[in-house]
């Protein structure tokens, strides 16, 4: 596939986030949506009305074997990410997976190795890394405008849906952890305390400390149990402070 060719795309998973990916991809130049896939007939029917020229299927095998599908946007439950991503890579498809990439570090490593061995693109859906505020703060940090970063705080909380197959750390945390990695680099330690308040065994509130070699510490609050929606990050430096309120 050359740089000038049209990219054939499929969206697998039309639940909560898949329709947003489909809508965004539809407006991209040099991209053609070839197929959508979901086990829910009602979701397929809804999108068939909106996108009548796009093939709709309940069977992911139809996507795996489709010769006109080069890449797949995967927005299925987290418990399915590893198996589906591996099958898609084995079929020669590039894959963008909604966060988190997989259920464990080991599973992520295996997917990365498979993609590298096949020369394919495998990418998690860390969309905030491309948002104007995050990229602007990255430039400020690279220019040392804030000076040495002493500490930071980050809160991502709301009265949200309790996921059935993933904790609040893996549901909300990838946003903040990917942003911090982008801004501050690899941490030297991570420690967390969390609890299950509503559903036994399912962590719904967590406080995570992320530490760095230069002494900087960032405390991350993650919660599905909050009276208001909060998306707020603060970095305190020796020269300036900055507030990112999303």
DSSP string, 181-208: HHHH---SEEEEEEE-SSSTT---EEEE
The average pLDDT across 167-194 equals 97
Same domain? For 102 and 141 the reply is no
List alpha helices for the chain, DSSP H.
Answer: 18-26, 41-50, 60-64, 78-90, 105-118, 132-142, 168-184
Look at residues 125, 159, 174 and tell me which one is the last residue of a structural domain: 125
Look at residues 87, 107, 125 and tell me which one is the last residue of a structural domain: 125
Same domain? For 12 and 91 the reply is yes
Contact 223, 204 (CB under 8 A): yes
Same domain? For 121 and 152 the reply is no
Q: What is the pLDDT of residues 135-156, one digit of tens each?
A: 999 999 999 999 999 999 999 9
Report pLDDT for 164.
82
The CATH code of the domain that includes 20 is 3.40.50.720
| The total number of structural domains that make up the chain | 2
Same domain? For 72 and 162 the reply is no
Q: Residue 44: is its pLDDT beyond 60?
A: yes
Judged by phi (left if over 0) then psi (alpha if -120 to 50, else beta), residue 11 lies in beta
What range defines the domain where residue 135 resides? 128-245
Same domain? For 36 and 25 the reply is yes
Report pLDDT for 108.
97
Q: Which is nearest to 156 in space by CA: 174, 132, 172?
A: 172
Instruction: Read off the pTM.
Output: 0.89
157-160: long-range contacts at Cβ-Cβ below 8 A with a sequence spacing of 24 or more? 157/221, 157/222, 157/223, 157/224, 157/225, 157/226, 157/228, 157/229, 157/230, 158/223, 158/224, 158/226, 158/228, 158/229, 158/230, 159/224, 159/225, 159/226, 159/227, 159/229, 160/224
Look at residues 125, 154, 175 and tell me which one is the last residue of a structural domain: 125
Same domain? For 140 and 173 the reply is yes
Overall residue count recorded for the chain in this entry: 246
Q: Is 59 a member of any domain?
A: yes
Q: Is 144 a member of any domain?
A: yes
Report pLDDT for 125.
95
Q: Is 198 a member of any domain?
A: yes
What is the pLDDT confidence band of residue 134, given thresholds at 50, 70 and 90?
very high
């Amino acid at each position: 596939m050359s740089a000038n060719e049209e990219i054939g795309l499929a969206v697998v998973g039309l639940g909560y986030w898949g329709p947003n990916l489909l809508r965004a991809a539809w407006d991209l130049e040099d991209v053609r949506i070839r197929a959508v896939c979901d086990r829910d007939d009602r979701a397929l029917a809804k999108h068939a009305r909106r996108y009548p020229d796009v093939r709709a299927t309940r069977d992911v095998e139809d996507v795996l074997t489709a010769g006109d599908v080069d890449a797949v946007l995967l927005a299925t439950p987290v418990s399915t990410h590893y198996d589906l991503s591996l099958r898609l890579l084995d079929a020669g498809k590039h894959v963008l997976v909604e966060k988190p990439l997989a259920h464990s570090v080991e599973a992520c490593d295996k997917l990365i190795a498979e993609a590298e061995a096949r020369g394919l693109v495998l990418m998690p859906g860390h969309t905030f890394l491309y948002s104007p505020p995050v990229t602007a703060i990255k430039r400020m940090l690279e220019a040392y405008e804030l000076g040495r970063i002493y500490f930071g705080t980050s809160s991502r909380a709301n009265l949200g849906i309790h996921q059935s197959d993933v904790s609040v750390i893996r549901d909300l945390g990838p946003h903040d952890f990917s942003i911090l990695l982008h801004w501050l680099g690899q941490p030297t330690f991570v420690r967390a305390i969390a609890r299950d308040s509503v559903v036994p065994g399912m962590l719904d509130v967590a406080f995570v400390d992320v530490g760095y070699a230069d002494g900087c510490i960032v405390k991350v609050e993650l919660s599905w149990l909050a009276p208001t929606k909060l998306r707020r990050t603060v970095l305190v430096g020796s020269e300036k402070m900055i507030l990112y309120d999303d």
